[in-house]
Amino acid sequence: MAIYVSGCVAREPWRHEFTAHPKEVAQLRRMVRLRLILWGLRDHVDAAQICVSELATNVIQHVGEGTPATLRMELNGPHLRLEVEDPDPRALPTLLAASDVLESGRGMALVDVVTDHRWGVILRGEAKVVWCELTVDASAVCRPTNGPRITRAVAVFELYGSWPLPRGRDMVGSASLLGMAAAEEAAIEVMADVLHWLRAHGHDPDDVLDRAQTHFEAEIGGLL
């Protein structure tokens, strides 16, 4: 269920499918950072990134590179819950003593410390879910949903004709989950078209994305 705060971006449960590979870990950390900034939980970014890194690395090391996995993140009362699901119920995580010498040998020790022992494993048929929870201030102020950039984004969506977005405060308060999903798909289409345009004109899409993210994080940070 989505959690709404008046005038703020919806803190809707987030799910991302990925392939367990070392190069994917950095991308997961990046995505978690952006999501938490949007949720107004910037102070919890570092801890959440540590947890995600350890949970994903656990799949890579003990299940195998190339394993399809799923990351989920949601607010569960006063806790931020992170879950990583993989298709091997046999390779269970083991809590080892943290080592200052070999970081990769810490296992779940970092997660145990960072989450104050709030973690566990859920077996689901032919899959398992390793979860952990961070204590957060669920009433923290998050980013307003109005402003010039939001207004321009709404105009672009309407130009595409994918979904008539409500404006201002109604953008969160009255939007259905189906409507929010349609808006997300419209946003993906817009960004994909821009990336194709950049590539066709000799620009590096990855470089432009990095610069856009830098601007985005700077502006979001100034509102928190």
* Relative orientation angle of helices 22-38 and 205-223, to the nearest 10 degrees: 40
pLDDT in tens, 15-56: 999 999 999 999 899 889 888 887 888 889 999 999 999 999
For residue 29, the tally of other CB atoms under 10 A from its CB is 17
The pLDDT, as a whole number, for residue 184 is 72
Give me the mean pLDDT over the 174-200 stretch.
Answer: 71
The pLDDT, as a whole number, for residue 149 is 64
Per-residue pLDDT at 200 exceeds 60? yes
Q: How far apart are CA 198 and CA 191, in angstroms?
A: 11
pTM of the model: 0.61
Q: What is the DSSP letter of 3?
A: B
Beta bridge partners of 17: 70
Is pLDDT larger for residue 112 or for residue 178?
112
Furthest-apart CA pair in the chain: how many Å? 56
pLDDT in tens, 116-165: 999 999 998 899 999 999 998 755 544 444 566 666 665 666 565 544 44
The pLDDT, as a whole number, for residue 143 is 45
Is pLDDT larger for residue 2 or for residue 10?
10
Q: How far apart are CA 60 and CA 184, in angstroms?
A: 29
pLDDT in tens, 75-127: 988 899 999 999 998 888 776 554 443 444 466 888 999 999 999 999 988 99
